[in-house]
Structure 1
Amino acid sequence: MQQLILPVLLTSFWTACTGAGDWCYQTQFTCDHQCNTPEKWNHANNACAGKSQSPINVVTRKALKDERLTPFQFTNYQQIFKGTIKNNGHSVQVGVPHVSTISGGGLPTTYKAVQFHLHWGTNGGPGSEHTIDGEQYPMELHIVHMKQDYTDLTTALSDPEGVAVLGFFYERSNSGNRKYEPIINALQKIKATNANTSFSEVSLTQLIPSEQNLTSFYRYKGSLTTPGCTEAVIWTLFENPIPLSMEQLKAFSDLKFHDGKPMVGTFRPVQPLNGRQVFRSGSALILASSALLAAAMAAALGLSQPN
């Protein structure tokens, strides 16, 4: 009889802690805060169990070259604006004036910027949502755009191609990125959920790699990476990462969820492709080929050196 007691108690404990209520990240779940972790997001919204979900793992050797993926045209991305940054309980988010637009890049029309937000790990550890050949970067930036004819994101999400998100990865650098100082400094003022603050003048251009380094990217169709997981997003993932120092990356882990726990691990695990095709820009292939050629030449030169 005693042998049966422990399994029964464990089962009861697990049942009590399997999650309920709102959606959350895995790092938020406790028995005191029961919530739907990523594998149960479909309990919060049925769309999260769809067949075209994001993020994904990009397998570079399976990505098909698409000549239509020409360089983007970034309009008014250099325009400076005074922003408000908010801790929304799941991330930090900045609203963007709807004057910055993107076109080209294989997009069906022009899209205007709405907001940007970030996803990160723990104290600078792995935290990007998308992965490249299984590699998870420390953090990922999403600049969210909607078709220029729409006035709100909700309406845009009812269009299967209504939203275009530009995704950028971050990498650890030995020195701080001065262009990010307005954002990093503002984080100290929004540690608590729903806290917000204004920050000094910034532009979208200063937050991303230079335009000549944005010709190499991947493309696929997917969804929002948080509930409601709406499958209405054209995704673009740029190869060239943004450098931040470890100290700058760690600053995001000082934020708090609504219960006061550290806001860490704010990423959804990668989702199945379910037959979707990932494409890559022609320049991405050229860059890859150039890298391979350079490596081959270096190896050849090394072999030809006298002992």
Structure 2
Amino acid sequence: MQQQLILYLACAWTLCAGSGDWCYQSQFSCDHQCNAPENWDHASRNCAGRSQSPVNIVTRKTMKDDRLTPLKFENYQHIFRGLIKNNGHSVQVGVSHPSTISGGGLSTTYKAVQFHLHWGNNGGPGSEHTIDGEQYPMELHIVHMKSQYSDLGTALRDKEGVAVLGFFYEMSNSPNRKYESLINALRNIKPTNGNTTLSPIALAELIPPEQNLTSYYRYKGSLTTPDCSESVVWTVFENPIPLSMDQLKAFSELRFQNGKPLVKNFRPLQPLNGRTVFRSGGAAVMISSALLVVALAVGLEVSQPN
């Protein structure tokens, strides 16, 4: 980290004031001078806002909201062949068929637009959101917009125009077969702007079963890339998705536009600035269960004779 800072400071002296492109810290170099995360507000003023994402979710400070019932997923089982692309910042897949989410405290129905991922380096820490300071290897974002809008740009002008579902990944001893088509496609999109048609897949295959999606957190935030519009209703799920180490490492074989490995493409954590993170009833049960286990353990220890 110190070496990266020294490199950044050394290059900053020659950074062109008019440079408007943005990048991750792992992409910045003297050969590719760009606005790293701490300077994203140079690329877009929104990035200096007070309701930015991602955030660290401190579970003991979350507030239970009884309105956060299980979400209703429509057409998530629908099989489609989307275009998968290395856009220079992430892997992104467009969703062209009408898959929607509603309920769960959302004000209306939202339709899926695209999904993309954020990861570390060869399976290392890489999620954008963290739970009690824990950073997972990777995070999936399924981006939705209100159904009445026809394009994302219009939706982002609405303070609640976009709803993003966030899912964490964890390392598994065995590969996740449901991810084979996605992982296999990565070898065809290694360079920036590389794209190919994804083998038939359904959104439901990429996420945990619906019955395991009752535990989640909700807060108002922003896009995690410029222009950082503060128009996002975030839903971050507790239950992680398993991937093998080889599957996680496959993402690190992609390349940024400057040819460097596309790794650590996550934005640093942003301050809550007084915002409240709410939790669903399912998340509350899990927290209560954890406390119950601790209480029982303490009780047993106290009851043991000297």
**TM-score category by the smaller chain?**
over 0.9
> What is the TM-score of this pair, normalised by structure 2?
0.92
Partner of 1:284: 283
What SS class does the counterpart of residue 246 from structure 2 fall into? Answer: helix
Q: Is the 8 A contact 1:87 1:196 kept in 2?
A: yes
* Residues 121 and 264, structure 1, Cα contact 8 Å, conserved in 2: yes
- CA RMSD in angstroms, aligned pairs only: 2.1
Q: Is the 8 A contact 1:217 1:238 kept in 2?
A: yes
Q: 2:108 is matched with which residue?
A: 109
Measure, in 2, the Cα distance between the counterparts of 1:63 and 1:51. Answer: 19
SS at match of 1:293: helix
What aligned pairs does 1:205-216 form with structure 2 within 5 A after superposition?
205-216=204-215
Q: How far apart in 1 are the matches of 2:286 and 2:113?
A: 31
Deviations 1:120-167 (A, max 9, x none): 010000000011111110000000000011110000000000000000
Residue 82 (structure 1) aligns with: 81
User: Taking structure 1 as reference, are residues 13 and 191 closer, same or farther at Cα in structure 2, changes over 3 Å only?
Assistant: closer
1:24-35 to 2 correspondence within 5 Å? 24-35=23-34
> Mapping of 1:56-135 within 5 angstroms?
56-135=55-134
> How has the CA–CA distance of structure 1 residues 13 and 170 changed in structure 2, closer, same or farther, with 3 Å as cutoff?
closer
Secondary structure of 1:136 counterpart: coil
Match of 1:172 in 2: 171
CA distance in 2 between partners of 1:40 and 1:252 (Å)? 26
Q: What CA distance in whole angstroms lies between the structure 2 residues aligned with 1:287 and 1:24?
A: 37
Q: Deviations over 1:169-213 (max 9, x none)?
A: 000111100000000000000000001011211100010001111
Partner of 1:16: 14
What amino acid is the match of 1:95?
G
Q: Does the 8 Å CA contact 2:11/2:29 hold for their aligned counterparts?
A: no
Q: C-alpha displacement at 1:98, in angstroms?
A: 3.8
Structure 2 spans left out of the alignment, 5+ residues: 1-7
TM-score, normalising length: structure 1: 0.92
> Residue in 1 aligned with 2:3?
none
How far did 1:35 drift?
Answer: 0.2
2 CA distance for matches of 1:128 and 1:12? 28
* Cα separation, 2, equivalents of 1:86 and 1:205: 20
**The structure with more radius of gyration:** 1
Q: Give the corresponding residue for 2:4.
A: none
Aligned equivalent of 1:225: 224
**In the TM superposition, what is the alpha-carbon distance from 1:252 to its structure 2 partner?**
0.2
One-letter amino acid of the structure 2 residue matched with residue 15 of structure 1: W
Aligned residues, how many? Answer: 298
Identity of aligned pairs, percent? Answer: 71
Cα distance in 1, alignment partners of residues 38 and 45 from structure 2: 12
SS of corresponding position for 1:118:
strand
d(CA) in 1 for partners of 2:184, 2:304 = 50
C-alpha distance in structure 2 between counterparts of 1:153 and 1:145, whole Å = 9
Contact 1:21 1:34 in 2 (8 A): no
| Greater shift in the superposed pair: 249-258 or 17-26 | 17-26
